[in-house]
Amino acid sequence: MTTDAATPLTALDVMRDAPVIPVIVLHDVRDAVPLARALVAGGIRMLEVTLRTREALECIEAIAKEVPEAVAGAGTIRSAADAQASALAGARFGVSPGYTRSVGKACHDLGLPLLPGVATGSEIMLAQEDGYTELKFFPAVQAGGINMLRAWGGPFNDVKFCPTGGVHAGNAEEFLALPNVACVGGSWIVPTEAIAAKDWARIEVLAREASQLRR
């Protein structure tokens, strides 16, 4: 799959590119580009930079401009304004912790592929009504984990999930083995201490290991 910014993406493109989407929290814009380069070198190109810090949008912009091999995305989208600001910064996909129709409409109108967060059957149905069939299951482990995904496989067999929350190197392949799981989201490949230490070599190794997980 090309990462050319001129090529439209779908949510399924984002989910299928690698087994793991890293959930990234950045506090220093200077870390954004070397982190993105380390992840890409390890085989991870879809990068979810969460809007949990004041620097997040600037980090997305830096990655979008300086690391063309990466696909910068915005996580923790909670409002239409978040979606608009993310798209303006150069994000090419969005991820939300939950789902509201205003967020779904904003992303649709912006042409921003969205992985909406769901934790219940009713939330899945609401997202599907609005045309979303690739969803983030969050918080995955806390909301029922693998057993919940197996249960959803019957009534929601046309939905693909990206479980996030409590997923780590030790359980990722168990999630990825499920037929309704296209990828997982996790922060274990971008540990806070490695970013603080600017240990990009370690992050590249973690990304490479994650990119080779079976699914």
Provide the annotated active-site residues: 48, 136
d(CA 129, CA 143): 22
Whether 97 and 126 have beta carbons less than 8 Å apart is answered as no
- List Cβ neighbours of 34 (8 Å cut-off, separation of 6 or more): 198, 200
d(CA 13, CA 194): 28
Sheet architecture: strand order including 93-95 = 114-115, 93-95, 71-75, 46-50, 20-24, 184-186
